[in-house]
Amino acid sequence: MARLFDAYIMVDWSAASKPVTGANSIWIGILARDARLRMVFQAVNPDTRLKAREFLTDIIAKLHRRGDKVLLGFDFSLGFPAGTASTLGLDVSGHAPWQAMQAHLSTKMKEKPDNSNPRFAVAAGMNYAISKGPFPFWGAPKRDQVKTLSGTKGDFENGTLPEFRETENYLKAQKLGNPKSCWQLAYTGSVGSQTLTGIPHIKALRETIEGARLWPFETGFKPLDEESLTEISLLICEIYPSAIDVVPEAGEVVDRAQVRAIAHHYSDLDKTGRLAGYFAPPDSLEEGKIGSIEAEEGWILVK
């Protein structure tokens, strides 16, 4: 059975405010064929987000020149809970909510070469637009706390937006991990800051690389096959490395081990023909929720 993809690039993102390498920084893992057609893994550790995007653009261009179809995964939320864009006051009449959120964040989150970013100020501004108070984003360090951004979680039981997307609820129910909410900006396992800093780079890659598409927003939440990927050279998806067992090698940084393990995981699934089904909704998901997943929430590539 032919593979859907020829190369697998997995990214462990970081919202660090200064250049950093090693643990808790950006790690990019590439699993692709070498000159002898063997699948070989390599990892790079750029110290800023701008350098990471430049590297990704270059390596994907090289893979495309030799005809490789690429699966690119990022370990942060590519979408927000259903209703976020409209509650924020964004115009969703001419395009999907996920596109409105990408455009909004791209105008707010301006990257600088020194890796500094205004994520806490942006989150505080979005909270004001949504609730006029410290909801739904939370988890700012004391120096960044203001009237509309707190260090503690708000009242999601009575709030205007849910704490979790359907995909996080699914992972929890299946005991595949304990994913954090995209609203949580700091503390162990948080993904909110990575989401705010990462989505603008996703938008830039999508617009720069010919044949790039986002799953499931642009492909539909359904099984993918060779025919459905004919016009797609790069498929961008959301990953959750903690859903699989990861064993670091001697002296290996955990982040590097995670991108290595998840790249091999998807490659093995693809080799045996099982990856195609991962792009479809689980049987337990209510059919009525698929529309909001395709339009705004997104889904983690996991079964």
146-165: pLDDT as tens digits:
999 999 999 999 999 999 99
Helix (H) or strand (E) holding 52, with range, is helix 49-65
**How would you label 110-138 residue by residue, b for 16+ Cβ within 10 Å and e otherwise?**
ebeeebebbbbebbbbbbeebbeebbbbb
Comparing CA positions, the residue from 202, 170, 165 lying closest to residue 184 is 165
Instruction: Return d(Cα 22, Cα 185) in angstroms, integer.
Output: 21
Proportion of the chain above pLDDT 90, given as a percent: 96
| One-character DSSP codes across 141-172 | -GGG-BTTB-SS---SSSSSS-SS-HHHHHHH
Q: Quickly state the pLDDT bin for 1 (edges 50, 70, 90).
A: low
pLDDT higher than threshold 90 for residue 255:
yes
